[in-house]
Structure 1
Amino acid sequence: MSSPGDKRRYIRYHIPVPVMVKAPMLSDLRLIPEDLSASGFQVVVLSKPSLEMEIDCSVFVYEHEMKGIRAKPVWVDENELNPSTWIVGFEFVLPEDARRSFESHLRKILGDGN
């Protein structure tokens, strides 16, 4: 049986580097994602988002800012370690050519992942 990582189309970066997501609809503070790929990211938030919403966000990797990215939650789970928070998986809403460009940009900054 293949692992979920074997089914990924894009490299998933487990981030030991400074990465932040600015998403004003979710938080006044910049969010620190658990991981990041060209398809999306996972974060912990204080309020449960609706699966029907879309957000505007910016992704900061080191000093590089990628602006004007749309994302939508594709799953939401209560955080068992802190039940007053939610773990959310967001998928970027990007045309395929923009996604490939984003992936190329991530590779230039972060390398081939881990």
Structure 2
Amino acid sequence: GYRAAINLLSGPTPPDAIFCIADVMALGALDAARFGLGLKVPRDVSIVGFDDIPSAAWPAYDLTTFRQPIEAMVGRSLSLLFDPADFPPAAIRIPGELIIRGSTNIGPATV
């Protein structure tokens, strides 16, 4: 995450925001922006993660992230494995939750 963010943010047209595939990568991106390049997050760039790991809520990171409903996902998966006849082929959606913290310029009124 650190190295990728350095590359992205040092380019000729740096992004306004970075969405990372995992919070661990987003934490690296935050460190790169703030300490590697001296940028202000979220003033100069917004950074969002995916997972909502415990360290995302630490004050040093305050990472906006997308929380996956792990328990619901595991429960639904186990139901499909143990009772496949009850579940014909279908797309199954289990909604997650956007957790807005201080690494983005968005607020509840704009979501």
User: Which protein is bigger by CA-based radius of gyration?
Assistant: 2
Q: If the length of structure 2 is used for normalisation, what is the TM-score?
A: 0.22
Q: If the length of structure 1 is used for normalisation, what is the TM-score?
A: 0.22
Higher strand proportion (structure 1 or 2)? 1
